[in-house]
Structure 1
Amino acid sequence: MATIKDVAKLAGVSVATVSRVINNTSRVTPETREAVIKAQDELNYHPVISPKLNSRQDSELVGMSIADHSDPYFGQMVKAVDQSATKEGMSLIVNAGYHDAERERQCIEELIQKRCRIIIAHTVLLRDDVLTRYMANQKSMILINRKLPGFEERCVYLDDEGGAYLAVKHLIQNGHSKIAYIRSSHPITDADLRFRGYVRALEEAGIAFNPALVVSADPTPQGGEQGAEALLNLSQQFTAIACYNDMQAAGAMAILSDNDIRIPEHVSIIGFDNTAISRYLHPRLTTIMNPVSAMAMSAFAIGLAIIREQDTQVQSRVFTPTLIKRFSVRDLRAF
Structure 2
Amino acid sequence: MATLSDVATAAGVSPTAVSRYLNNRIELPQGTRDRIDAAIAKLDYRPNLLAKRLSTGKSEAISIVTPEISNPFFAELAAAVEAAADSHGYAVYMSSTRGDPLREIDAIKRLQDQHVDGLIMMTNRPDDGTLAALLRHIDNVVLLDEDIPGVSVPKVFVENEQGAYLGTRHLIEAGHRDIALISGPAGLMSVRERQTGFRRAMVEAGLPIRAEWLMLGEYSRAYGAQSAKTLLEGSVRPTAIMACSDYLAIGVLQAVRQAGLVVPDDLSLVGFDDMAFAELVDPPLTTIRQPVAEMGRLAFERLLALLNKTEVATEIRLPVELVVRRSVAPFVSKGQ
Superposed CA RMSD in Å reads: 2.7
Structure 2 residue aligned with 1:119: 119
Q: Larger C-alpha radius of gyration, 1 or 2?
A: 2
Structure 1 residue aligned with 2:323: 324
- Write the distance in 1 (CA, Å) between the matches of 2:150 and 2:255: 44
Map Cα deviations across residues 34-63 of structure 1 (whole Å, 9 max, x no partner). Answer: xxxxxxxxxxxxxxxxx7996696120111
Gaps (5+ residues) in structure 1?
1-50
Gaps (5+ residues) in structure 2?
1-49
Note if contact 1:174-1:333 (Cα within 8 Å) is conserved in structure 2: no
Letter in 1 for 2:329: R
Structure 2 residue aligned with 1:36: none
Decide whether aligned partners of structure 1 residues 167 and 86 sit closer, same or farther in structure 2, where only a CA change above 3 A counts: same
Note if contact 1:96-1:107 (Cα within 8 Å) is conserved in structure 2: no
Letter in 2 for 1:317: I
Letter in 2 for 1:293: A
- Write the distance in 1 (CA, Å) between the matches of 2:147 and 2:254: 34
Q: How does 1:243-322 map to 2 (within 5 A)?
A: 243-313=243-313, 317-322=316-321
- Write the distance in 1 (CA, Å) between the matches of 2:111 and 2:309: 21
Letter in 2 for 1:322: E
User: How far off is 1:292 after superposition?
Assistant: 2.3
Note if contact 2:167-2:287 (Cα within 8 Å) is conserved in structure 1: yes
Letter in 1 for 2:322: L
User: How far off is 1:72 after superposition?
Assistant: 0.7
122-131 or 152-161, which deviates more: 122-131
Note if contact 1:285-1:328 (Cα within 8 Å) is conserved in structure 2: yes
User: How far off is 1:205 after superposition?
Assistant: 0.9
Letter in 1 for 2:284: R
User: How far off is 1:297 after superposition?
Assistant: 1.0
Structure 2 residue aligned with 1:211: 211
Note if contact 1:241-1:269 (Cα within 8 Å) is conserved in structure 2: yes
Structure 1 residue aligned with 2:33: none
Letter in 1 for 2:222: Q
Structure 1 residue aligned with 2:92: 92
Structure 1 residue aligned with 2:108: 108
Note if contact 2:287-2:322 (Cα within 8 Å) is conserved in structure 1: yes
- Write the distance in 2 (CA, Å) between the matches of 1:146 and 1:208: 29
User: Please, what TM-score do these two structures have when normalized by structure 1?
Assistant: 0.77
User: How far off is 1:223 after superposition?
Assistant: 1.6
- Write the distance in 1 (CA, Å) between the matches of 2:57 and 2:293: 26
215-224 or 141-150, which deviates more: 141-150
3-state SS of 2:272 partner? coil
User: How far off is 1:71 after superposition?
Assistant: 0.8
User: How far off is 1:229 after superposition?
Assistant: 0.8
Note if contact 2:245-2:271 (Cα within 8 Å) is conserved in structure 1: yes
User: How far off is 1:255 after superposition?
Assistant: 1.8
User: How far off is 1:96 after superposition?
Assistant: 2.2
Decide whether aligned partners of structure 1 residues 243 and 118 sit closer, same or farther in structure 2, where only a CA change above 3 A counts: same
User: How far off is 1:240 after superposition?
Assistant: 0.6
Structure 1 residue aligned with 2:158: 158
Q: Percent identity?
A: 27
- Matched residue pairs, number? 284
Letter in 2 for 1:171: L
Map Cα deviations across residues 169-211 of structure 1 (whole Å, 9 max, x no partner). Answer: 1111111111112222464221222222212211111001111
3-state SS of 1:323 partner? strand
- Write the distance in 2 (CA, Å) between the matches of 1:171 and 1:285: 13
